[in-house]
Structure 1
Amino acid sequence: MKDSIVMSKPARPVKRTIIMLLIVVLILGMVFGWGALRAVFIAKFLKGFANQVQTVATIQAQETPWQPAIQSVGTVTAINGASLSAEVGGIVDTIHFESGQDVQKGDVLLTLRANNDPAVLAQLQAQAKLDEINYARDLKQFAANAVAQSTVDTDRANLAAAQAQVAAQQASMDEKIVRAPFSGRLGIRQVNLGQYLQPGTAIVTLEQLSPLFVDFYLPQQALVALKVGQVVNLKIDAYPGQTFPAKIAAIGATVDSATRSIAVRAVLQNDDLRLRPGMFASVSVETGAPKEAVTLPQTAIAYSSYGDTVYVVKHGQGNALVADQVFVTLGATRGDQVQILDGVKPGDEVVTAGQVKLHNGSPVAVNNTIQPSNDPNPNPPNE
């Protein structure tokens, strides 16, 4: 009897284990079931979202006149420009100009104190005059055979030496007078009366403001399209919306081995004196005659490493509008526009806004109330 009681005791742990296994199986079933159910709901939601009609803005692709041009950036420089200084040292005696003044070539701008230079010049001139009298008298005496040829030769040499000393003294005095080497506009005065100037000390800058040079660089591939006299259009940040015409005056003789670019210089007329040397310029060099090209706003292009694309709106089943993704080949850009070389034909309706939420075949609704900018010559505010 005791043995039978002892043998029946292990039944309770086995039963407890079975119950625990059933509970675990039930929990796992609920977890995996909920995951599967959630996947079904997500797939259903995404399917419905994918087929949701997306509102986009569109534009009809069309051909417009396109002027082929090469773009670059350049710097406005003066044809003649210099920082003026005295050749010798001295104390500033007189100043004959004001800052920003227009001057003519040869105008006296500044003089240094002469000290005893005029007295030395007068002494040398007197000696030269005496030597000239002696030479003239001895010439007459030589004609009468009253003096030797050597005396006349000595007089001639003395006169030449005296005249050379006068010229040297006059040149030394001229070095103390600073004149305008060319016509132009002065900058800001850098010296004052009574100031001692070392040789080479900057006094004022002088710039010839018309005409001006525009220096810029173009890639070596553009060399075949360049020639002297070619039209160049400039845009200056200080004058938004305005274009300044220039003409190519010189093309560099060599190509830079580091950048593989060539230097180009154009001449710009500046009769109204609005432009200044040192200004930054956006340069556009016209190459060839204008031609027709398909253009789109740059906002219509989806750029990626595997290719550039646009969405073209077409009629699908039931005449519904759908977006068709198309690969395009791009050309040059101008302002807000980009040239389309291949992929879009005139008359195609292309999405210009809202393409981020599209995929190939997405149903769309067109709303062109607001359109992105499509200006070939935009004028952004200069703030």
Structure 2
Amino acid sequence: MDDSSATQTENATQVERAVPVVVEQAREATSDVTLNILGSALASKSVVVFPAAAGEVEKVLFQAGDRVKTGQLLVQLVDRREVLAEKQAAVQLEAAGRLLKRYQRTEGTGAVSATVIDDARIAYRQAELALAQAKEQLRDRTVRAAFDGVVGIALIDPGDRVALDTPLTTLDLRSPLMVEFPVPEQFLTRLKVGQPVSMQNISLAERVFTGKIQYIDSRVDELLRTVKVHAAVPNTDDLLRPGMSLDLKLTLQGEPALIVPELAVQWSREGSHVWAVRNGTSVKVPARVVQRREGRVLVTGQLRPGEPVVVEGVQRLRPGRAVKILQAAPQTNPQLQPAKASGT
């Protein structure tokens, strides 16, 4: 047998020794997670309205569901005494002012002593304070809206006697609406103000509302191991109400990774790894599993994007062993949808 025949025989033997494998390319992805969480709607601003003074209700100037403006009169208490007190204080101030001017015209002539003039100035100042106090007491006989919003059901009627701790109604600002929901502490580092959140309510199944995270609590609940998050939702149609339950979907961005078939990931005493094909030989590449996703796995490590990894035939592989690629596994490409997780 000549040298050329021997070489051909040797090459054929090497080809026969090559391990047949099926491969698929590793692709770039991120370990995004979509949380399905139950949240509760809250008003952006919400108060229970109380009177500033005790007394008898004269007028109730609103109905449940009315939209009111800041400073709008809601409840009028009987104020006859306060009106008279204001008028009396105004008269006393006017009299004190006339007397002070009369004394000031004689100042320096010696007709009126400096002590008397000083007393007149003090009396005028006291009259000013008395009028201001009377006006404040008169103002307390009215109850006005603290901000733009929607009032609730009136809890009092004309003729009722109210005290300082008597609730009159509620006032809510419903646009934007706030939605409070818990996020497991393991995802805390992925939360950011401004992240979008989508949500639905069972009574409005066809509508999907989109909001953005506005507040992230500074503490983690030590019992539930969750952090409280508030998202602001435009409520221009006024379809959402405080107290509603909402099903939220929040997608959190993860770290960059590579996605490979689940069959490509193998385990040994050193941990998880995949078999990559480089220059026609098998290479054992450590790969840390980040996330599982419908028959596929996201991994990080020294694997390179686009590199073929062995899906079938891994049992006979050793480091540096020659491989023969029979075919590439079909690229199903399931849109690389984020993994789903349920919030508490």
**Higher relative contact order, structure no. (Cα contacts within 8 Å, ≥ 6 residues apart):** 2
Check 1:257–1:287 CA distance in 2 against 1; reply closer, same or farther (3 A cut): same
Q: Secondary structure at the match of 2:207?
A: coil
Check 1:278–1:149 CA distance in 2 against 1; reply closer, same or farther (3 A cut): same
Q: Does 1:68 align with 2:33?
A: yes
- Tell which structure's C-alpha radius of gyration is larger: 1
CA contact (8 A) 2:68 2:151 kept: yes
Counting aligned pairs with the same residue, the percent is 26
CA contact (8 A) 1:248 1:264 kept: yes
Q: Report what 1:209 is aligned to.
A: 174
Q: What aligned pairs does 1:1-383 form with structure 2 within 5 A after superposition? A: 68-288=33-253, 339-341=294-296
Give a deviation string over 1:54-90, Cα, whole Å, max 9, x none. Answer: xxxxxxxxxxx99632232211101111121212221
- Larger fraction in helix: 1
- Larger fraction in strand: 2
Q: CA RMSD in A?
A: 3.0
Check 1:133–1:151 CA distance in 2 against 1; reply closer, same or farther (3 A cut): same
Check 1:285–1:143 CA distance in 2 against 1; reply closer, same or farther (3 A cut): farther
* C-alpha distance in 1 between matches for 2:231 and 2:134: 44
**Letter paired with 1:187:** G
Return 5+ residue gaps in structure 1 as ranges. Answer: 1-64, 295-328, 333-337, 343-375, 377-383
Give a deviation string over 1:214-270, Cα, whole Å, max 9, x none. Answer: 111111111111111111111222211322111111111121222221111111111
* C-alpha distance in 2 between matches for 1:291 and 1:144: 96
Shift of 1:158: 0.8
Q: Report what 1:9 is aligned to.
A: none
Q: Secondary structure at the match of 1:224?
A: helix
TM-score normalised per structure 1: 0.58
* C-alpha distance in 1 between matches for 2:82 and 2:52: 16
Shift of 1:280: 0.8
Shift of 1:112: 0.9
Q: Report what 1:12 is aligned to.
A: none
Give a deviation string over 1:254-298, Cα, whole Å, max 9, x none. Answer: 21222221111111111111101111112222222899989xxxx
Q: Secondary structure at the match of 2:85?
A: helix
* C-alpha distance in 2 between matches for 1:66 and 1:272: 36
Give a deviation string over 1:352-377, Cα, whole Å, max 9, x none. Answer: xxxxxxxxxxxxxxxxxxxxxxxx9x
CA contact (8 A) 1:67 1:291 kept: no
Return 5+ residue gaps in structure 2 as ranges. Answer: 1-29, 261-288, 298-337, 339-344
* C-alpha distance in 1 between matches for 2:89 and 2:250: 62
Aligned length: 243
Check 1:169–1:154 CA distance in 2 against 1; reply closer, same or farther (3 A cut): same
Shift of 1:331: 6.4
Check 1:279–1:293 CA distance in 2 against 1; reply closer, same or farther (3 A cut): farther
* C-alpha distance in 2 between matches for 1:210 and 1:83: 18
Check 1:241–1:339 CA distance in 2 against 1; reply closer, same or farther (3 A cut): farther
Q: Secondary structure at the match of 1:178?
A: strand
Check 1:237–1:66 CA distance in 2 against 1; reply closer, same or farther (3 A cut): farther
Check 1:174–1:293 CA distance in 2 against 1; reply closer, same or farther (3 A cut): farther
CA contact (8 A) 1:330 1:341 kept: no
Q: Secondary structure at the match of 2:74?
A: strand
CA contact (8 A) 1:75 1:279 kept: yes
CA contact (8 A) 1:87 1:200 kept: no
* C-alpha distance in 1 between matches for 2:291 and 2:127: 76
